[in-house]
Amino acid sequence: MKQMIESESGVEKGRVFELAAELFGVLSTPMRLRILSALCDKEKSVSQLLQEIDTTQPNLSQHLNLLYRAGVLAKRKDGTQVIYRVQSEKAVMLCRTVCTQIAIEMDEPGSVPATERLSPRIAS
């Protein structure tokens, strides 16, 4: 990773880490990961998301708004409904990769050597 960052001409190295930390912060709650999972295949209204995700409407709206402001989600109005969709496919791909790897480690803990685990808290 260091070589990749140093090879970028004109990029302030510290800023790269700040922006990466900002994105990880936006994606750092289980609720936001659930929202991205629910939206990765198709756009949905807030009421559709509430049927899939066990939370309150105000809590869901707060998380949706944060993901929207960060540029991870896009939204549009359809009458009185607000419809959300994935804006940043790369952010979703990152989440999917991490969650899939952790699921493998949980389902088959012995299949991944301790030195190669993404989540060291999962015992083999």
- In three-state secondary structure terms, 85 is strand
> Residues of the chain with pLDDT > 70: what percent?
89
**pLDDT tens readout for residues 1-18:** 455 555 455 567 788 889
Domains and CATH numbers, the chain: 2-87 (1.10.10.10), 88-124 (no CATH)
Pick from 68-77, 98-107, 112-121: least confident: 112-121
User: What is the model's pLDDT at position 7?
Assistant: 46
Query: With 60 as the cut, is the pLDDT of residue 30 above it?
Result: yes
pTM assigned to the model: 0.81
The strand pairing partners of 30, in sequence order, are none
Query: What average pLDDT score do residues 77-81 get?
Result: 94
User: What is the model's pLDDT at position 38?
Assistant: 96
Higher pLDDT, 9 or 44: 44
